[in-house]
Structure 1
Amino acid sequence: MAPVKPGFRPSMTWLHDWSGLVIGWLLLAIALAGTLAVFRPEIGSWARPEVARAAVDPVESTQAAIGWLSAHAAKSPAWYLQPANDRSSTTQALWLDGNDYVTRALDPRTGSPAGIRDTLGGEFFYRFHFELQLPYPWGRILSASAAMLMVLAIITGIVAHRRFFADFFTFRPGKGQRSWLDAHNLLGVAALPFHLLISFTGALTLANLLMPWGAIAGYRGDEAALRRDLYPAEVTRAATGRPAPLVPIGPLLRRAEQRIGGHIGLISVIDPGDASAVISVTSADDDRLQIAHHVISFDGTTGRILAEQVERRPVLSVFNAFYGLHTARFAGALSRWLYFISGWMLTGLIATGLILWTAKRRERRRGRGFALVERLNVGFVGGTPAAFAAFFLANRLLPVAMAGRQMAEVHAVFWTWGAVLLFGAIRRPERAWTELLTLSAAACAAIPLVDIACGTARADGPGLGVGLTALLLAAGLGHAARRGWRPKLRAMRRERAAVA
């Protein structure tokens, strides 16, 4: 590691370079997964072509799902449901089977998962974005740490770059290191407010995992008291062991909709089939920036209201506003596409930063450290699009009725990822760049082609969105592969001579 030069700006440059490098590969995957998660419901609908997209009544779809769960998950201590809506074609159900949680998509008309391929859909990218497919809480801690370092890298980058905004209007292709710096600067400035906002709110939403001491000190370790204050409408009752049927769910949900004044976003049924059952209904605040949950808890056997609350406490309202900004659930179609495009720019910003790190040091490369960074750059930057494309391809190519299909799709991502990282480690970087970018371009282009070949292609919103995005990404990656991403040594020498 090079020593820090004296002075404030050189110190910021050193901090920017190394903070970005240490967490850059992880940030690249987090940013790309988060970008795809903007369209989580739409990807879920695309991933389940067996369910036709049509207008559905959330109450009727929930009623059908409760009927199926009553017959097939009666022994589960809790059911959690997200009703189908205008963005999601299925009802999402989660329940406990033994010691394992099961998540399935249910047909909104029949309430059954029969005939629907078992897939996480967009939920995979959403969960990977902040959990990294790791056990709780380690994945979330890593994601929160990465977000904090991203904020640090952005701020130090602004300070370190003297002509930050002036160079926004400058791009010089084919100039080696200078071109990478221009591209890095352009991607940084064009969506700078988004980059700062998404990084800061990402760190804030998981800050309790990094800094839990305030809550621990304030409540002296009493987690039950903390939960009661955070969720005052939550009702917990011990199971009695006396069986009792649930109240008819349809009229109860209609009553909840009237009190909420809008649609329902989440239904939980605790201890279904027991005399102490509790049904909690939470409002869908998808059209609001500040998530102000309206929660009503009902007695599961009588329908009597046990508790009701609308969250208006100032501190939690501010937190919910930041959370809403990060998840973009409030956003309409145009705003979601702006989030999506800005997310791609953030991913490109991270990728160009990683490449620029090696471009600046190529002439004086020494030792194994540089070689390790260079080869990891090839695998992560060149191969991660192929790994994520493998999820979409596996969704279409794996047998619909395959046992363990849901995790097989996830395994396809990580097997592909491992293969491209290994390839980048053993192949000469100048060749591996072109070959892995070509592979990623081919994998993305294959998504709509395989969709058509499998007879599952649909000309609806999710189908067109996934297909066109995949083709555009394939075209960009293919262009990069054709031009070659490896900075030319002669161009770098000319650049250094011109600067000197």
Structure 2
Amino acid sequence: MKENLRQSMAWLHTWSGLLVCWVLLLIFAGGTASYYQEEITLWMEPELHGAAAHKAGSVDAADMAVKALQQRAPDAQRWFINLPTERRGAVRIAWTAPPPPEGAPRKRQRLQTALIDPLTGAAMAEPRDTRGGEFIYRLHFDLHYMPPLTARWIVGFCAMFMLVSIISGVITHKRIFKDFFTFRPNKGQRSWLDAHNATAVLALPFHLMITYTGLVTLMFMYMPGAAQVAYKGDRDKFTEEVFPSAGKPAKKPGEAAVMAPLRPMLEQAERHWAGSHAGSITVNHPNHANASIAVTRAGGRELSYKQPAMQFDGVNGALLASAGDQLAPPAATHGVMYGLHVARFAEPLLRALFFLSGLAGYAMVATGAILWAVKSRQTQAKALKAGASIGVGTRLAEALNIGAVAGLPIAFACYFWANRLLPAVMEKRAENEIAVFFAAWGAAALLAQVKPDRAMWRLQLAAGAFLFGAIPLLNVLTTSSHLGVTMQNGPSAVAWFDITVLALGLLLGYGALRLGRGKVKTNEVKAPAVSAGIGAAS
């Protein structure tokens, strides 16, 4: 360790950030894009763009959904209805098959789903098979090709290092806020430190919040001891108090019976919630005497992720139970922390600020990683001038920087290209889209290992710029809902997606152009001038 606290924190800041920075880049990229998870999914399902341009009330949409379910699955054991929201226009209905007769072998029930138009109740053609924004959302904590539990431990480990790096970075930078207003371009290490300070301070409260709340969302997995001791191992009681639900459905359906109309129940629930709309409905044992209907409020402007629910008798419409209106303090705190992390409460402007703050976090991690490589190369400057080779660790870090910082945009862009270019009807289509993402990222990372120099930075940034910038043109050639249409007639989410990827393409293109200026000497110690993690402190 060093002589004093600040210098000791500089050492801790450097290594706690560097060891996990490349995983953090993936977490930041996926998490930032997830603020527009619904919009990304909509863009990747062009078959639904027409329905998204029309809005329907939740009560009317629920009536249409019940009619459709009565036609498709009157004997189902359970119905599920996801009502339209400001960000999702179609109604998704689902049902489970009726239970097998007594004595018959039980099989795992498969959920059957359908989309209906909320205005007419007509069946809508199923969109192309895609994971859409759901893949990106889960990628940032499940890491895809590995067991989810293992992935979440890895992500939690990296998040803890991130939290340590942020706190130690604040301590070690004694002029951090003054340096926020200072940027000296074309100064090598000094420029990268200025960029790192600026992107870190720009959204410092966000960085602290998103890292801490990310750990809180999985706190019961990381630290189960407290819950086990407090509830004496009774997980059912723990789940009931922390994740309350509006009563339990009857185990048996009973005799056949006529369902009560759903509209009065929804209207009662919405009055109870002071005008807030229902978001989802679950009907247990429909068309039977023991039918029950659980109505859950749609996520609104409340910070908490937990939404209250009400349960009604499915035959006479009487209120049976309600839950979530007054949560216990621990449950309420957990709901707010979770809600802050996923930001479902955010209105469009606030959501955009969250998105920009996430990009700043990506840039903070990237500039820190590049800064470490610059400093490491400078310590070897004399040896390099004498003709020695760059150190193995430095070369590896430089290659990983290119593969993560410039390679990830290529992977995301290729994911969107695959959505448009793969046949709309093909086996395992969603899995193939995801395979394209990892194949493109893997190719970029391997190519960076060949020659991690300025030319490779320029090549990969230019590739990302082209792939992102050409997406609106790709949309023109493959769909009828391109910018020329969506800017006038909607859906606006599709138009803003095209505008956003075009802006990202221009940003990447600017970085590639900056790298193309001037000739670079073989022994140059400056890092490429790209704006894009956690690293060292001076």
Q: Does 1:23 align with 2:48?
A: no
| Match 2:118 to one of 108, 111, 114 | 108
User: Pick from 352, 360, 371: which aligns with 1:337?
Assistant: 352
Q: 2:426 aligns with which of 402, 409, 418?
A: 402
Relative to structure 1, the CA distance from residue 9 to residue 92 in structure 2 (aligned partners, 3 Å threshold; closer, same or farther) is farther
Deviation at 1:230, TM superposition (A): 2.3
1:90–1:25 distance in 2 versus 1, CA, 3 Å:
farther
Once the two structures are superposed, the pairs formed by residues 294-443 of structure 1 within 5 Å of their partners are 294-309=308-323, 310-364=325-379, 367-443=391-467
Structure 2 residue matching 1:165: 3-state secondary structure = helix
Corresponding residue for residue 32 of structure 2: 35
CA distance in 2, matches of 1:94, 1:348: 41
Amino acid at match of 1:59: V
- Could you tell me the TM-score, scaled by structure 1's length? 0.88
Cα distance in 2 between the residues matched to 1:177 and 1:479: 20
Alignment counterpart, residue 268 of structure 2, candidates 242, 255, 258: 255
1:341 is displaced (CA, Å) by 1.1
CA contact (8 A) 2:461 2:512 kept: yes
Alignment length (residue pairs): 491
Q: How does 1:117-266 map to 2 (within 5 A)?
A: 117-133=128-144, 134-237=146-249, 239-240=251-252, 244=256, 247-261=260-274, 262-266=276-280
* Contact 2:47–2:125 (CA under 8 A) maintained in structure 1: no
Are residues 234 and 184 of structure 1, via their aligned partners in 2, closer, same or farther at CA, if it must alter by over 3 Å?
same
In the superposition, relative to structure 1, how do residues 75 and 179 fare at CA in structure 2: closer, same or farther (>3 Å)? Answer: farther
Q: Which amino acid aligns with 2:298?
A: A
1:477 aligns with 2:488: no
- Whole-angstrom distance in 1 between the partners of 2:31 and 2:3: 38
What is the Cα deviation at residue 487 of structure 1? Answer: 9.7
Query: For residues 279 and 348 of structure 1, what CA distance do their matches in structure 2 show?
Result: 47
Correspondence for 2:85:
85
Residue by residue over 1:378-404, the C-alpha shift from the partner in whole angstroms, topping out at 9 and shown as x without a partner, is 111111011111222222222333343
Residue 259 of structure 1 aligns with an amino acid whose one-letter code is H
How much does 1:252 deviate? 3.2
Q: Matched residues in 2 for 1:152 and 1:410: separation?
A: 32
Alpha-carbon distance between aligned partners in 1 of 2:58 and 2:94, rounded to the nearest angstrom? 17
Q: Secondary structure at the match of 1:162?
A: coil
Q: Is the 8 A contact 2:398 2:452 kept in 1?
A: no
Query: For 1:48, which of 40, 45, 48 is the aligned residue?
Result: 45
Q: Does 1:283 align with 2:297?
A: yes
**1:11 counterpart (8, 14, 26):** 8
Distance 1:118 1:62, change over 3 A: farther
- Residues 1:64 and 1:140: Cα distance change in structure 2 (over 3 Å): farther
Identity %: 37
Q: After TM superposition, give the deviation of residue 343 of structure 1 in Å.
A: 1.2
40-49 or 64-73, larger mean C-alpha shift: 64-73
Bigger CA drift: 206-215 or 454-463?
Answer: 454-463
Name the CA distance, whole Å, in 2 between partners of 1:189 and 1:203. Answer: 21
* Contact 2:378–2:525, Cα closer than 8 Å, also in 1: no
Letter in 2 for 1:108: P
Judge conservation of contact 1:105–1:118 (CA < 8 Å) in 2. Answer: no
- Provide the secondary structure at the position in 1 that maps to 2:296: strand
TM-superposed deviation, 1:80 = 4.2
Matched residues in 1 for 2:423 and 2:23: separation? 32
Q: TM-score, normalising length from structure 2?
A: 0.82
Deviating more after overlay: 203-212 vs 65-74 = 65-74
Larger Rg belongs to: 2
Alpha-carbon shift at residue 104 of structure 1 (Å): 6.9
Give secondary structure in 1 for the equivalent of 2:440.
helix
